[in-house]
């Protein structure tokens, strides 16, 4: 039985307490302990970006983050993105993904949306080259990326 530790953090704007195994990932905490399955498990090694969440306002791979390290931090997942500060943009982003056909199987979409939201927070005027660099840590095996880049580009300022 692995050591457990109590953590206290903010999840999608709600103060949350949990008891976690010290060797478990933030992704396991979200999906298995808290039941928020919007964040996806893809590769488990930080290569695919399907598990991307916002931690204190910046994007990270939740599969590489230790759950104990969530203590005292502010997490936003795909479920909370619309309610976060960037809510308006998240809504526009989700409409743009639909409009541009940027969703096929949909597995990469939550991570892609969270990363796109972070990218646009930092670079509201990002051009398509900057968007491609911004999502280089997110793998999509369906779309060939063009529709995703077009969708993100359509909501830049």
Partner 1 sequence: MTEIEHYAAPVTLDEAVECLQQVGEVTILAGGTDLMPQQRSGRLKPQRTLMNIRGMTELRGVSQSGGEIHIGALTTITELLEDPLVREHLPALIEACDHFASDQIRNAATIGGNICNASPAGDTLVPLLALDAQVELVSKPDGALFRRSMPIAEFFVGPGKTRRAPVELLAGVSIPVPPKDHFGRFFKFGTRPALDISTISIGLCGVLEGGVLSKVRVAFGAVAATPVRAFRTEAALEGRALTAATIAAAAAAARDEVTPIDDVRATAWYRKELIHNMTKRILDHVAQA
Burial label for 139, CB within 10 Å (0-12, 13-18, 19+), is middle
The DSSP annotation for 7-58 comes to: EEEEETTEEEEEEEETT-BHHHIIIIIS--TTS--S-SSSSS-TTEEEETTE
Q: What x/- string results for residues 76 through 115 when contact with partner 1 is judged by CB under 8 A? A: ---------------------------------------x
- Angstrom distance (rounded) from CA 15 to CA 25: 19
Which of 8, 13, 19, 22 contacts partner 1 by CB under 8 A? Answer: 22
Output the smallest distance, CB 59 to partner 1, in A: 5
Binding of residue 66 to partner 1 (CB under 8 A)? yes
Nearer to partner 1, 28 or 150 (CB): 28
Output the smallest distance, CB 2 to partner 1, in A: 6
- Angstrom distance (rounded) from CA 86 to CA 100: 21
Pick from 31, 1, 33, 28: nearest CA to 18: 33
The interface region with partner 1, picked from 29-37, 67-75, 76-84, 144-152 by CB under 8 A, is 67-75
- Residues at the interface with partner 1 (CB under 8 A): 1-3, 5, 22-23, 25, 44-47, 49, 52, 55, 58-61, 63-66, 68-69, 71-72, 115, 118-119, 133-134, 136-138
């Amino acid at each position: 039985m692995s050591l457990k530790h109590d953590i206290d953090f903010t999840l999608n704007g709600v103060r949350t307490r949990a008891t976690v195994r010290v060797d478990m990932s933030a992704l396991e905490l979200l999906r298995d302990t808290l039941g928020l399955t919007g964040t996806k498990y893809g590769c488990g090694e930080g290569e695919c970006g399907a598990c991307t969440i916002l931690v204190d306002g910046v994007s990270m791979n939740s599969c590489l983050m230790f759950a104990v390290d969530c203590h005292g931090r502010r997490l936003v997942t795909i479920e909370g993105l619309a309610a976060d500060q960037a809510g308006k943009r998240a809504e526009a982003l989700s409409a743009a993904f639909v409009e541009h056909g940027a969703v096929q199987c949909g597995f990469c979409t939550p991570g892609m949306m969270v990363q796109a939201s972070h990218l646009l927070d930092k670079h509201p005027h990002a051009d398509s080259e900057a968007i491609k660099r911004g999502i280089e840590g997110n793998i999509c095996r369906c779309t060939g990326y063009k529709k995703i880049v077009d969708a993100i580009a359509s909501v830049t300022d």
